[in-house]
Structure 1
Amino acid sequence: MCIIETQPVIETRRLTLRSPGVQDAPRIAALANDPDIARMTCRMPHPFGPGDAEDFILAVASQDPARAATFLIEHEDAGPVGVVGLFEGDDRVPETGYWIGRDFWGRGYATEALQAATAWARARWRRRALVAGHFSDNPASGRVLEKAGFLYTGETRRQFSRARGQLTDTRMMVWLA
């Protein structure tokens, strides 16, 4: 029998990845209400207010733990700094995505969180591959994914960005265990 963790916690050198709770809504809203973050995601609206944060937390709580896991990225000193998620989408393998609050860019938190999330997916879900993408006008995200072990597939997809309100070229990448 396989036991699925419904609220896993992952510890890294500097970070804790955990399920977001109601108490995190104000911080999530404050971090995510940045047009430069939202426009680099497919699903995040802008503006992103407290109601959006509460809806996000409820959506995470209702995820099927065998098909999706979303983690709040919490720094040991700074508190919540972003989000990383793994979920089954349109591809044959699960997808991952992330965002980090602007004040925490360039510190390696996204790479550290992605490395921990992929290791968790490999160990808990027995996943041997994950896909990710980044918008063509966001090469910094591509560098984060490369540092976390993702490789470019050569495929570019047109994906809808909710914050932009339009289709955007997305460079696809894959992680292989």
Structure 2
Amino acid sequence: MCVIEPTPVIETRRLVLRAPGMSDLERLAALANDADIARMTLRMPHPYAVTDAEAFLHNVQVQDPRRSATFLIEHEDLGPVGVIGLFEDGDPMPETGYWIGRPFWGRGFATEALEGALVWASRQWKRRALVAGHFADNPASGRVLEKAGFLYTGETRRAFSRSRNAMTDTRRMVWLA
């Protein structure tokens, strides 16, 4: 039987992926309170207040580590830059999702964090496949997923985006260990 540590730490070349804590509350709220970030996610509200960050932290603290893992993405010099999560949802395989704060876009942090999380998922979480999706109007996220080894399935799903308050086309991808 595989024992999953409740707050794993993953280290990559420039990043540490760790459990978010109350000390990250203000930074999370500040980074996440960006309409251009929220509109590319399903669950994130906009505006994103400190109370939203508190609710997020509470949900992370009570998640089942056998079914979900949520990491704060922290740069060695810049501090927290985003969040990445892996979770079991309605699909047969766990799903991953992530966001990076606007000041840190275009620096490869999402790809590096995703690659680190995938290694952890296969070695420690014992997952052999994960799925992900990106909105059809967010090709940059698709490139991140491709760089990390995800392949398009050919499926597009309609899903409700909380910040857009609308159904949105989501292009589905899969990663196989």
Q: What SS class does the counterpart of residue 140 from structure 2 fall into?
A: helix
Equivalent in the alignment of 1:86: 86
Equivalent in the alignment of 2:2: 2
Structure 2's unaligned 5+ residue stretches are none
* TM-score normalized with structure 2 length: 0.99
The CA deviation at 1:89 is: 0.5
Counterparts of 2:27 and 2:103, CA distance in 1: 13
Supply the AA of the counterpart residue of 1:168: T
The CA deviation at 1:2 is: 2.7
- Within a 5 Å distance, the mapping from 1:1-177 to structure 2 comes to 1-177=1-177
Counterparts of 1:174 and 1:2, CA distance in 2: 23
Supply the AA of the counterpart residue of 1:23: S
Identity of aligned residues (%): 73
Over the aligned positions, Cα root-mean-square deviation in angstroms equals 0.6
Q: What SS class does the counterpart of residue 86 from structure 1 fall into?
A: strand
Supply the AA of the counterpart residue of 2:94: P
Counterparts of 2:56 and 2:14, CA distance in 1: 24
4+ runs of 1 displaced by more than 6 Å? none
Counterparts of 2:54 and 2:23, CA distance in 1: 10
Q: Deviations over 1:11-40 (max 9, x none)?
A: 000000000000101000000000000000
Q: Deviations over 1:151-173 (max 9, x none)?
A: 00000000110000010000000
Counterparts of 1:50 and 1:8, CA distance in 2: 25
Supply the AA of the counterpart residue of 2:4: I
